[in-house]
Chain A
């Protein structure tokens, strides 16, 4: 059933008892052309684009828990494409463009709200890096501008821009097309879209092994039996190394907790997304009124979806320093996801040592904004057994050649 104001009105008369399931819950078949391991946003998007753009509909998405239950449902929902390096900028911009048409494409409102993303600069080094980024992004054809403290104050009046704080705000970059989207809706929309095109979305099914013969993948062992597959795409974020171990190789990835939190809902007072790498916090306000706040990763490897409290304390110090009026608000929930961090803070969307086995991982703290783009290029990579130009640089091979795409190196080290 198509979603619209009219179908809502029509169903109101039937007390909304006529709505069909957004997706089926099929039993897994014995074999598929393509099995996608991981029912998060990226995996579902991959399946959707395989069916929608590449005509490959005999696809199963296998999820050990529930759809969107990993980092898709645990992130701070920020979307932007203001990346420094060309390779990243083009990939994330492609994703942002897909996002801009996604609600209509999927007939599912993902509530993309392009309220602008500000990245604050607190010292001269920050300002220099910010200018470098803004210039690069602009020349890549992506919207980006530099704001002065006065302009920042006009846009975010509750931000403390006074010069006498410990690390004053000296400037900011602004991507107006950046913003937030409803994270769960992205997973659900892709699941519904994929399902409608014949993809089997299978929840509560855990992959326990990857079968191969003569260096090529044959299928996956699961908690619900063996499933043959001509091609297997793995997109399991924090669990990438576990799946790679099943396939017999290692990845340059460490899994770390990444924590986030929300405040109690309050009447809207903060309309953009403010990020500060220097004092380490980012914050937006959801349509429900909660402040959604994130920070950096915990320092140790973990699969526990649980971080350490000092990270939250640091984050709160930074938040109250930037936004003094938030001090008396209250933290409602905090949680963690398991993020797959790569040495160069860039993803791997790549063929692997095993033929017809593909990995999409290493998104670290930044995967949500890439969801449609990641699925789009991964579907292409799987369909053609070769990467698209947009993800050609994001190979596993780059760690041997040294051609890293170092997004955080470029932001690090002050003199």
Chain B
């Protein structure tokens, strides 16, 4: 079970959180201008990397806040926790790159 550092509450057990999947997927500003495949890309396609991954979590059973986590999908090591809308840290650890 992961130990996740909520930016507002501090380290808490994973069971207090819910994972919201890949982070930094921005909803298109003008969906009507997108083709069906472009819309599908936003809606369904995911990078699902093996290695460093940026994802959204919500402290469901705590403060209720969403935030971003950078976590390795192989070791489960959490390398960064940052607020929603904040810039991703560790630019070198580009998601999708194999470890």
Contacts and interface: CB of A to CB of B under 8 A. Distances in A.
A107 interface: no
Contact of B46 (A254, A302, A303): A254
A253 B48 contact: yes
Nearest to B39: A400
Contact of B76 (A304, A400, A402): A304
A306 B2 CA distance: 11
A239 B73 CA distance: 12
Contact of A400 (B14, B36, B50, B98): B36
A25 interface: no
Interface in A304-322: 304, 306, 308-310
A7 B40 CA distance: 56
B64 interface: no
Contacts of B49: 241-242, 245
A303 B44 contact: no
Nearest to B14: A308
A222 B41 CA distance: 29
Interface in A199-224: none
B1 A400 contact: no
Contact of B73 (A251, A252, A301, A310): A301
A242 B50 contact: yes
B21 A401 contact: no
B46 A309 contact: no
A162 B78 CA distance: 46
A169 to B, nearest CB: 27
Interface in B4-60: 14-15, 18-19, 21-22, 36-37, 39-41, 43-50, 53, 55
A299 interface: yes
A255 interface: yes
Nearest to B71: A300
A66 interface: no
Given A299-B19, A300-B19, A304-B76, A241 B44 contact: no
A343 B15 CA distance: 23
Contact-residue bracket for chain B = 20 to 34
Nearest to A241: B48
A245 B49 CA distance: 9
Nearest to B76: A304
Given A255-B73, A302-B73, A308-B1, A241 B46 contact: yes
B1 A245 contact: no
Contacts of B1: 308-310
B21 to A, nearest CB: 7
B94 interface: no
A151 to B, nearest CB: 37
With a 10 A CB-CB cut-off, give which of B2, B14, B21, B46 has the most chain A CB atoms: B46
B47 A241 contact: yes
A130 to B, nearest CB: 28
Nearest to B2: A308
Contacts of A29: none
A299 B56 CA distance: 11
Contacts of A255: 48, 50, 73
B75 interface: yes
B20 to A, nearest CB: 9
A250 interface: yes
Contacts of B74: 302-304
Contacts of A343: 44
B96 interface: yes
A303 B50 contact: yes
A399 B44 contact: yes
Contacts of A302: 73-74, 76
Nearest to B48: A241
B67 to A, nearest CB: 14
Contacts of B43: 399
B22 to A, nearest CB: 8
B50 A239 contact: yes
A401 B36 contact: yes
5 contacts: A241-B50, A242-B50, A302-B74, A308-B14, A399-B45
A-B complex: 8 closest residue pairs judged by Cβ atoms = A252-B44, A241-B48, A300-B19, A250-B45, A400-B40, A400-B36, A308-B1, A299-B19
